Structure 1
Amino acid sequence: MTLKTIAESLGVSAKTVSRALAGKDSVGEELRTRIRAEADRLGYVPNSMARSLVSGSAMTLGMVITHPANPFYSLLISAVEERCRANGYSLLLMVTEEDLETERDAAEALLRWGVDGAVVIPVQEGAEHWERLKDSGVPIVLVNRGLDGFECDFVGVDHERGAYEAASHLLDSGATSVHLLEEDVPFSSAADRRAGFQRALAERGLPSDDAITLVPQSTHGRRVLPWEPEAAYQCARQLVSRLEPGAAVLTGSDYFALGLYRALAEKGIDIPGHVAVIGHGDLPFAAYLQPALSSVRPPADEIGARAADLLFERIQGSTAPSVSICLPPELKIRASASDRDHHEPNREN
């Protein structure tokens, strides 16, 4: 079914049909309604490839992420896809599993597909392949992680601020010592959380050298999974033996908090009476743990929307200097880090 078929059925030109289906103002509302109704009746489906050849645009954004199982990235994808739909674009999703060669293949595929722009969460092991994509005329917005020396727009979370505010809350609430259970990864997000944690302790004259426990990545074949509760549980078992009553633990993810909860429960240690806990991510299960888990909530929806909006501005011809946007997370305090003297279950969801 073609534009010509619809045009012949209504006795108008194919160009008129094309303008009507594209929403052009040059076609009156009554005729546009008739044309759209006839297109629906005949089962007309626009040929995106043909339209791309005519317009010189693929009407597609590429999105490269590291882990599809990460709930933070799931929210990012939804936000970017929503913006794509609103602009009449499709979204091509690719996954790297933190593997540099896979990421290079993804960049090459985006180049072959001729996408109009790309939202990228890099593995942070080189930028040559992204430079090549950018030099071909494809605008790129980095999300959550930057790339040294690579000039493009960036939208992410202020991880340093989130960890600083969480550690400060624990210390200001009376914690006698604060520990960080964090990923053992070379990524800027984890490094920024460590920096925020260390700043909070340094401002209060407290040492941080022995206060950080790193959780190793777990590898299953080519799938690298840094959020598994099991790895955090094994590390937490060692950490728990060093925790005195009145201590507190900040974890790099809510999944790590799950492992910590189990290790504390096995030793009969009360949360938050003896040890307070704050996680990162504010995943859906956080509010339903017992006690409800306090957590640092990243604005995933807003990050995805801002990244897509920046990309569409570039696609439309913006030549403004590159911008770097770090959005503040929100500290959600629930029962796991409430006042130790008067703590009651916090039923906030």
Structure 2
Amino acid sequence: MATIYEVAERAGVSLSTVSRVLNGKSSVNQALKEKVEKAVKELNYRPNSVARSLANSRTDSIGVLVPELNAPFFGDLMQAVESTFRGADKHVIITVGKNCLATEKDAVEFLISRNCDALIMHAEALSDEYLLELNNNKLPIALVNRQVEGIEDACTVLNNEKGGYLATRHLLELGHKHIAYISGPTDKADAMARLEGHKRALNEAGIAVNSQLIYNGDYQEEGGKVGLLELLARDMPFSALVCANDWMASGAISCARDLGMSLPHDLSIVGFDDVVFAHHVFPRLTTVSNPVADMAETSAKYILNKVYGQKHNVNRLFEPTLVVRESTIKHD
């Protein structure tokens, strides 16, 4: 394996010049820089990552915190972050928070102990105060799908209220007047915003919000099954159902089919997120797109700008769109 000394000898420059080129310093003459880059390529030289981190006080690694690993939604997030950083010759360390305060804090401390240059987080349980203190006193952070006052530049968010509105308005436009709703957990801001959008669409249509047609779910597939059964048991007829994410929608579809319903003729169903399986369930799921991959890429670019001095354009507010498939039908 080639050494930095051999690179310097091949390029005919000093060790300090090679070091400055490898660490991206702008003070190097362009002609010398080209000589070093040519020597690096010819010798297939790979800089020692430990030595580089000692030289510039960085590890070129970024910590990523997600609630879980087995959901397609977070798979899209991690893929976007990893590919963006890999394209910039950076690497990620991934850990899981499980939507638990103690576990999320433990995960953050682990990432700090690995000397990460920054953190990208989809954090549910950590308080705003904790996140502010972390960003201001320990290391830079970027938040996906969360807004924290005081660090707005570090946050990428979806207009969740509009997403809930689009889902219910679609059903209203199809002629549905009795629309049930399975929400996400009541302690999650995105879930409550989606529910508010649902209520706004009903109010605009002159339909009173009926609490008996709302079930508080948990964003899990089983929650969709339990939610549909509970709503049916309340004996309040409905022809359509909005679920606050695709996992619960898939659970509701499975449950409805087990009950012998013909979908979408007996029940139209709308989800939220447009994860990969949304177009594989039967009937294919009408849903609201949640561009989490784009949001995650934006968070990664924010860190590249803030920590590594790059200059990427970033968009912090994302708008959802309705994706119409076969799980909804006109109601006569």
| TM-score bin, normalised by smaller chain | 0.7 to 0.9
1:283 aligns with 2:275: yes
**Equivalent of residue 326 in structure 1, options 294, 302, 317:** 317
**Equivalent of residue 225 in structure 2, options 227, 233, 237:** 233
**Equivalent of residue 41 in structure 2, options 29, 36, 45:** 36
SS in 1 for 2:276: coil
SS in 2 for 1:250: strand
1:158 aligns with 2:149: no
SS in 2 for 1:57: coil
Q: What is the CA-CA distance between 1:11 and the residue it aligns to?
A: 5.9
Q: What is the 5 A alignment of 1:210-225?
A: 210-215=212-217, 217=218
Q: In structure 1, how many angstroms separate the alpha carbons of the residues matched to 2:140 and 2:166?
A: 34
Aligned-residue CA RMSD in angstroms?
2.8
Q: What is the CA-CA distance between 1:338 and the residue it aligns to?
A: 3.4
When structure 1 is superposed on structure 2, of 284-293 and 127-136 the one drifting more is 127-136
Q: In structure 1, how many angstroms separate the alpha carbons of the residues matched to 2:191 and 2:151?
A: 20
Q: Indicate conservation of the 8 Å contact 2:23/2:52, yes or no.
A: no
Tell me the equivalent position of 1:338. 329
Q: Indicate conservation of the 8 Å contact 1:164/1:197, yes or no.
A: yes
Distance 1:297 1:243, change over 3 A: farther
Distance 1:203 1:85, change over 3 A: same
Per-residue CA shift, 1:75-103, capped at 9, x if unaligned?
A: 11111122212222221222111111122
When structure 1 is superposed on structure 2, of 263-272 and 309-318 the one drifting more is 309-318
SS in 1 for 2:327: helix
**Consecutive unaligned residues in structure 2, runs of 5 or more:** none
Q: Which residue identity does 1:333 align to in structure 2?
A: V
Q: In structure 1, how many angstroms separate the alpha carbons of the residues matched to 2:155 and 2:114?
A: 23
Q: In structure 2, how many angstroms separate the alpha carbons of the residues matched to 1:34 and 1:204?
A: 70
Q: In structure 1, how many angstroms separate the alpha carbons of the residues matched to 2:163 and 2:178?
A: 18
Q: Indicate conservation of the 8 Å contact 1:240/1:263, yes or no.
A: no
Aligned residues: 322
1:4 aligns with 2:5: yes
Per-residue CA shift, 1:233-288, capped at 9, x if unaligned?
A: 1221232354647x110111222122212332233322222221111122222222
Q: What is the 5 A alignment of 1:1-349?
A: 1=1, 2-8=3-9, 13-18=14-19, 25-27=30-32, 29=34, 32-38=37-43, 40=44, 44-136=45-137, 138-147=139-148, 153-208=154-209, 209-215=211-217, 217=218, 226-227=219-220, 229-241=221-233, 242=235, 244=237, 247-316=239-308, 325-340=316-331
Q: What is the CA-CA distance between 1:169 and the residue it aligns to?
A: 0.7
Larger % of strand: which?
A: 1
Q: Indicate conservation of the 8 Å contact 1:107/1:133, yes or no.
A: no
Q: TM-score, normalised by structure 2?
A: 0.86
Q: In structure 1, how many angstroms separate the alpha carbons of the residues matched to 2:141 and 2:298?
A: 13
Q: Indicate conservation of the 8 Å contact 1:96/1:103, yes or no.
A: yes
Q: In structure 2, how many angstroms separate the alpha carbons of the residues matched to 1:267 and 1:248?
A: 16
Q: What is the CA-CA distance between 1:156 and the residue it aligns to?
A: 1.8
SS in 1 for 2:133: helix
Q: In structure 2, how many angstroms separate the alpha carbons of the residues matched to 1:132 and 1:286?
A: 38
Distance 1:324 1:212, change over 3 A: farther
Q: What is the CA-CA distance between 1:190 and the residue it aligns to?
A: 0.8
Q: In structure 2, how many angstroms separate the alpha carbons of the residues matched to 1:28 and 1:148?
A: 43
SS in 2 for 1:155: strand
Distance 1:76 1:9, change over 3 A: same
